[in-house]
Structure 1
Amino acid sequence: MAVTPVMSKTATLGDATANSGTSAADLMNNFMTLLVAQMKNQDPTNPMDNNQMTSQLAQFNTASGVEQLNDTLNNVGTLVSSMQQMNAASWVGRKVMIAGTPVIDNASSRAAFSLESDADQVEVTLTDKEGNAWRAELHNVKAGVHHVSLDELSDFQPSDPPTDATYSLSFAATNSSGDAPGIVALKEAKVDSVAFSSSGSVLQLGIDGSATLGQVYEIE
């Protein structure tokens, strides 16, 4: 016989419905109150089915366990978020690499790019303020963040670029198979301050705007 509410005991049911909460604990309390009422008023010739009662109790215990686990995970998430914010505060004054167009103004200046997967060739293009372009190639480049400078590049086409000019850099990656691995040009920015919001920490980068922690490719 299924465990069902008995409506003849209005006072008992009134106690059960007084707590209208929806948490697992509230539902369990209501269920137990109704179960006691059912047991008091059951037909002795047709008693309750113990298997069904046990099954329903097991379901409530499972719901209570899931609710407690969710509460624990929420607390852990809050703690992790707080630790990330405290860690981000230590970045003030340091340099980070974010997506953007890198600019170099002398032979030793460095630019960077992030490669999603290994590439047979990465073409590096330098463009000056007048729109003149020079191209060099890097070969057998592994996935990850790479830094380059004019001193480290060679065999420019159509000729070697002047070393006293300012250039913006762009990158393109290819493989002999014809596919093009993803590549992102990176620019350097300095962390002036860190702002905290409900969605996480935001690095304030002065003239370079702002960036979330997930937008930082490298910190120096």
Structure 2
Amino acid sequence: MAVSGVGSNTDATAALASASTTSVDSEQRFLKLLVTQLNNQDPLNPLDNAQLTSQLAQMSTVSGIEKLNAALQSLVAQSGSSQTLQAASLIGRTVLVPGSQVALAGGAATPFGIDLQGGADSVKATIVDAAGNVVRTFDMGAQAQGVKAMSWDGKSDAGQQVADGAYTINISATAGGNAVAANALTLAAVASVAQNSTGVTLNLANGGTVGLSSVKQIL
């Protein structure tokens, strides 16, 4: 009659699966269970090679996964530190990030951008005021996929200087009559850099925050 309890395969596997210990502790636990199982096996029905090999393979898998997790955590930590150092070089620089707002101050040219997700045979950018009135239209014609930096001199389509304030950029793009995804980009200065659970973020001078991956162009 086979011995049950600590010597059973099911109990040994369950004990290994529920152990939330370090790799060394797991190996010691496994060896202890294996020795106990061998000492208590039925002499007339000993543990066959297939069962022993299966348990050894399980232990090797558990140990390998723990080592892999430790290696991945180390790589993630190193990557995060490297990204933070790289992002720190952006402090004081201006970047183009997703956003449709553009500010006009002192009539100075205001840079903005367009992020085309595909090639288009017609691209238009319109700037509207707070009331929704179109004050300036840019007909850019055909454009290839990618980021396009642009500027606005603060004048209307009639050539008149418009009042300082906040304006909105609207983008439309088509290819063969079909709409092409396109996003407006706004200019912002990087004030500081932070690292949190979601990765590296940039704190902008205008009060906003964006992820490092959201930076489309550095000016």
C-alpha distance in structure 2 between counterparts of 1:214 and 1:6, whole Å: 53
Task: Please say which of residues 118-127 and 198-207 is displaced more in the overlay.
Answer: 198-207
TM-score by length of 1: 0.75
Deviations 1:54-76 (A, max 9, x none): 12111111111111001100110
Deviations 1:111-135 (A, max 9, x none): 3111111111111223357735343
- Secondary structure of 2:178's match? coil
Check if 1:127 corresponds to 2:128: yes
The verdict on how the C-alpha distance between 1:58 and 1:82 changes in structure 2, with shifts beyond 3 A counting, is same
Q: How many residues align?
A: 201
C-alpha distance in structure 2 between counterparts of 1:3 and 1:53, whole Å: 16
Map 1:72-83 to 2 at 5 A.
Answer: 72-83=71-82
Please state how far the C-alpha of 1:109 moved relative to its aligned partner. 4.7
The residue that corresponds to 1:142 in the other structure is 144
C-alpha distance in structure 1 between counterparts of 2:130 and 2:45, whole Å: 94
Please state how far the C-alpha of 1:209 moved relative to its aligned partner. 2.2
Please state how far the C-alpha of 1:205 moved relative to its aligned partner. 1.6
C-alpha distance in structure 1 between counterparts of 2:108 and 2:159, whole Å: 9
Please state how far the C-alpha of 1:214 moved relative to its aligned partner. 2.6
The residue that corresponds to 2:195 in the other structure is 196
- Secondary structure of 2:112's match? strand
Check if 1:164 corresponds to 2:165: no
Task: Please say which of residues 27-36 and 79-88 is displaced more in the overlay.
Answer: 27-36
C-alpha distance in structure 2 between counterparts of 1:85 and 1:2, whole Å: 60
The residue that corresponds to 1:114 in the other structure is 115
Q: Which amino acid aligns with 1:70?
A: N
RMSD: 3.1
Task: Please say which of residues 32-41 and 50-59 is displaced more in the overlay.
Answer: 32-41
Please state how far the C-alpha of 1:137 moved relative to its aligned partner. 1.8
Contact 2:135/2:157 (8 A) holds in 1: no
The residue that corresponds to 2:102 in the other structure is 102
Contact 1:103/1:166 (8 A) holds in 2: no
Structure 1 gap ranges (5+)? 8-16, 152-158
The residue that corresponds to 2:174 in the other structure is 174
C-alpha distance in structure 2 between counterparts of 1:2 and 1:141, whole Å: 77
Deviations 1:5-40 (A, max 9, x none): 557xxxxxxxxx9xx943354343233223223333
C-alpha distance in structure 2 between counterparts of 1:3 and 1:62, whole Å: 26
Check if 1:38 corresponds to 2:20: no
The residue that corresponds to 1:22 in the other structure is 20
The verdict on how the C-alpha distance between 1:41 and 1:90 changes in structure 2, with shifts beyond 3 A counting, is same
